[in-house]
Amino acid sequence: MAAVLNTQNTNRIGPPLRGDLRYNEPLASYTSWRVGGPADRLYLPADAEDLMAFLNSLPDSEPLFWLGLGSNLLVRDGGIRGTVICTKNRLKQIRLLDDGRVYAEAGVPSAQVAKFCSTQRLAGAEFLAGIPGTLGGALAMNAGAFGGETWPLVERVLTVDRHGQHRHRSADEFKVGYRTVVGRDGEWFVAAELRLHPGEPDISRSRMKALLATRAEKQPIQQPSCGSVFRNPPGDFAARLIELCGLKGHSIGGAQVSEKHANFIVNTGGAKAAEIEALIGLVRECVARKQGVTLEPECRIVGEGA
């Protein structure tokens, strides 16, 4: 059992906490791969204000990790030391601002953002329907799908630091690239204000339906995975290179290179994080040796081994 964290920092005074603090919480049910050891502490904030109060209550030395829908993430079997803050179903406000922009908090699923924009007769966010994560995760990595990317929609973000201080920052304060976003160290995304263009709901719905049909046809959405494991190298596709190596269907324990899409590794049942990580390493080594390309993981690998 993890030691109880004294969250009442006597040097900081704030409102009473309203969220849910759990100890030694297994993380497998919080990740899309359905693997992962325990977090020493897991905090589920009641809302953005409660999150800021919780951060203000923590000692400066407390390690922090942020978790949304748990896609694009491999948590090792030994789990995560320190405190994990989970925004799934927590930071969930989304609304239309008076000037036509969309305000959405970090815990809102990307697919919900796409649907909300469509109902508000706004176009340009349809691709978010195909991203299996939260807006916070999409902001952190400039998530994209079907030719669209997150940050071209962003006008301003709300961030918070480990002392619970929030700041509004414009999009041009961040360096954004393919699946990378560089901003201020020690700040995390709480919400974003998105600027879209006028559209027709019927057209947006049709586009989202087509994107989701393509995703269901080409990706193993019925099996636990993290989404795409590797970034596409310039001018090529990771899946093509992996398939050329004959790795489709290759397994280590319960982890398998998907037979449907080679850039997906699926949990066929009872996989350990160590088996998934070993398969990631095998794929990288094989593609480098046979194709001369070093694939870079798109998923994050965190935590400690068992």
Task: Write out the catalytic residue numbers.
Answer: 179, 228, 298
Amino acid at 117: C
Three-state secondary structure call for residue 84? strand
Q: Are 169 and 183 in contact (CB under 8 A)?
A: yes
- Token digits for 108? 């809102």
Residues 6 or more apart in contact with residue 225 via CB below 8 angstroms: 32, 33, 258, 264, 265, 266, 267
Q: Is 59 helix (H, G, I), strand (E, B) or coil?
A: coil
Q: What is the DSSP annotation of 256-297? A: EE-SS-TT-EEE-SS--HHHHHHHHHHHHHHHHHHHS--PPB
Task: Please report, for residues 34, 73, 76, 223, 250, the alpha-carbon distance to residue 259 in angstroms, rounded to integers and kept in the order given.
Answer: 19, 21, 24, 11, 8
Nearest to 274 by CA among 298, 303, 249: 303
